[in-house]
Structure 1
Amino acid sequence: MVAMVTQELGRRERKKAATRQALSDAALRLFAERGYDKVTIAEVAAEADTAVATVFAHFPAGKDALIFDDGSARRADLEAAVRERPEGTSILDAVHGYLARRGPFIEGMNAEQRTKADLIINTPALRAYARTLWIGCQDALVQAVADESGRDPRDPGVRSLARYVLELPDLIGADDDPRASLEAAFVHLRLGWPDL
Structure 2
Amino acid sequence: MTTPTGRRERKKALTRQALADAALELFLEHGYDGVTVAQIADAADVSLATLFKHVPDGKEALIFDDGTERREAVVAAVRDRPAGTSVLAALREFMAGRGPFATDLTPELLRKRDLIVGTPALAGYQRKLWIAGEGALAAAIAGEGDAQDPAVRALARYVLEVPELAGTDPDPRASLDAIFDLLERGWTG
TM-score (norm 2): 0.90
Q: Judge which range, 133-142 or 92-101, deviates more.
A: 92-101
1:185 aligns to what?
Answer: 179
Instruction: Output one character per residue of 1:91-138: Cα deviation in whole Å (capped at 9) or x when no partner.
Output: 112211221221111112211211111111111111111111111010
Instruction: Output one character per residue of 1:125-160: Cα deviation in whole Å (capped at 9) or x when no partner.
Output: 11111111111010101111011xx43222221111
C-alpha spacing 1:90/1:126, structure 2 compared with 1 (3 Å): same
Q: Please say if 1:111 is aligned against 2:113.
A: no
C-alpha spacing 1:23/1:186, structure 2 compared with 1 (3 Å): same
Alignment of 1:125-140 (within 5 A): 125-140=121-136
* Counterpart residue identity of residue 109, structure 2: Q
Aligned residues: 184
**Cα shift at 1:15:** 2.8
Q: Judge which range, 11-20 or 138-147, deviates more.
A: 11-20
Gaps of 5+ in 2: none
Alignment of 1:44-193 (within 5 A): 44-147=40-143, 150-192=144-186
1:5 aligns to what?
Answer: none
Instruction: Output one character per residue of 1:36-57: Cα deviation in whole Å (capped at 9) or x when no partner.
Output: 1111111011111222222112
TM-score (norm 1): 0.87
- Percent identical among aligned pairs is 58
* Counterpart residue identity of residue 21, structure 2: D
Gaps of 5+ in 1: 1-7
**Cα shift at 1:9:** 3.9
CA–CA distance in structure 2, aligned partners of residues 81 and 52 of structure 1 = 38
**Cα shift at 1:17:** 2.1
**Cα shift at 1:174:** 0.7
Q: Please say if 1:41 is aligned against 2:18.
A: no
**3-state DSSP of counterpart to 2:63:** coil
CA–CA distance in structure 2, aligned partners of residues 21 and 97 of structure 1 = 30
